[in-house]
Every structure is written in C-alpha cells, then in structure tokens.
Chains A and B, each alone.
Chain A
C-alpha cells in the first residue's frame, strides 16, 4: 500500500510569512494526525481528525495555526504568520481508527520548516 504522503519536504521562510503543508493519508484511514517535532524532542500532537471532524485540537496555537480536512481524505496545515519558534519538523500520521483501540500508526516523511 502507498504510505502517507507529505509535501513539501523542506521549507524555509522568513518570520511573519505564511506557509502551508499538505498530507495525503493511507487510503481508507479515518484518523489523521498532525504533529510538531522540535529538534531533540518527541512529536507533539497539534490536531487529530476523525474523517473530516476535529477530535482534538487542544494544543494547536489557534491564533496562528489552522488545519482542515474538508473531504475526510487529505489535509492541509497552515501557519500564518510564522514565528522563529515554529521551526520544526511537521509530521502527518494516519491510522485506520482512533487511538485507544490497538491502532497501527503510519507516518509520512515530514516537512522540515525553518523560519529565519
């Protein structure tokens, strides 16, 4: 099966600019996650979708971050405006069902964002 696809692989922007990341999960996976991973740390959940609905966005900085999964398939994550501390790898992951149910988890290759 095709894996989780993410683009772009790398992005360099100046602070206060906007950026968008795209994710296409594994076909049929209902659950989609966006994680932020700062260098030397484990992934931190930003938002979890179940189909096209938001399950958890409690750690998403909503003043600057937004995400959508309009048709319950692919998803975009946007940062507007970016800050220096947003420099990180943004990982998309998908799973057939929600956590707590012995769920396999598949990750994309991530987008490495550098904000200068």
Chain B
C-alpha cells in the first residue's frame, strides 16, 4: 500500500476550467508539499503546508490534518498549467504520490 495516494491519475481540462487534484496519506506528517513537474523533468515546489490553506496566484492548496487529506486547486486553468502535479508528505522521510498528469486544452 502506498503511503500517499493521488487522484485523478490523469486529467484533461478546457482552458478556464476550475481544477482539483486530491491527495490522501496514511502516515503522520509535519508538512505536505505540492510539487509541479514539467516534461523536462525538473520539479518545482509550489506549496509547503502543515495546516489550513495557502494561495499563490491562481493556485490554492488546502490540508485537513484530521482527515489526512489535501487538495490542490487551479482557478482559470491555462495551457501553461499542463504538467504533472505531485503530492509529497514529510514524515520521518519524504513519501511521494505517483502524480497527476494535467493537460489543459486551449
């Protein structure tokens, strides 16, 4: 069983749509990270959060520690948002989800 489960695995959206990616985890954590990976392979950290909600531009991340669940929302999606989004949790080590591949169509 994976410590971190993401859904959906793949997501295709029309430009402008509101997008939600979900992450559930089963271990105790100090923080949860949302990462963005573009086709070239490099990973960029979008958010690190341990409670509540964070917002950066069109991106919003929320976490519910009691339910061990986090969501990443993208408002007014754009083709440049197309990437793989990975949820990672910081327990006694880092555990990674398998990623959600997002494609935003113009």
Contacts and interface: CB of A to CB of B under 8 A. Distances in A.
Interface of A: 33, 37, 40-45, 48, 56, 89, 91, 93, 99-110, 112
Contacts of A99: 30, 90-94
Contact of B42 (A45, A101, A104, A108): A108
8 contacts: A42-B86, A56-B93, A91-B43, A99-B30, A99-B93, A100-B90, A101-B90, A109-B42
Interface residues of B, number: 24
A107 to B, nearest CB: 4
Interface stretch (B14-22, B61-69, B75-83, B96-104): B96-104
Interface string B39-76: 01111110010100000000000000000000000000
Given A101-B30, A102-B30, A45 B93 contact: yes
A102 B41 contact: no
Contact of B44 (A40, A107, A112): A107
Contacts of A112: 41
Tell me the dominant secondary structure on chain B's binding face.
strand
Interface of B: 4, 30-31, 33, 35, 40-45, 48, 50, 86, 88, 90-94, 96-99
Nearest to A101: B30
B99 A105 contact: no
Nearest to B96: A42
A91 B35 CA distance: 13
Contacts of A110: 40-43
B31 A102 contact: yes
Contacts of B42: 107-110
A42 B42 CA distance: 13
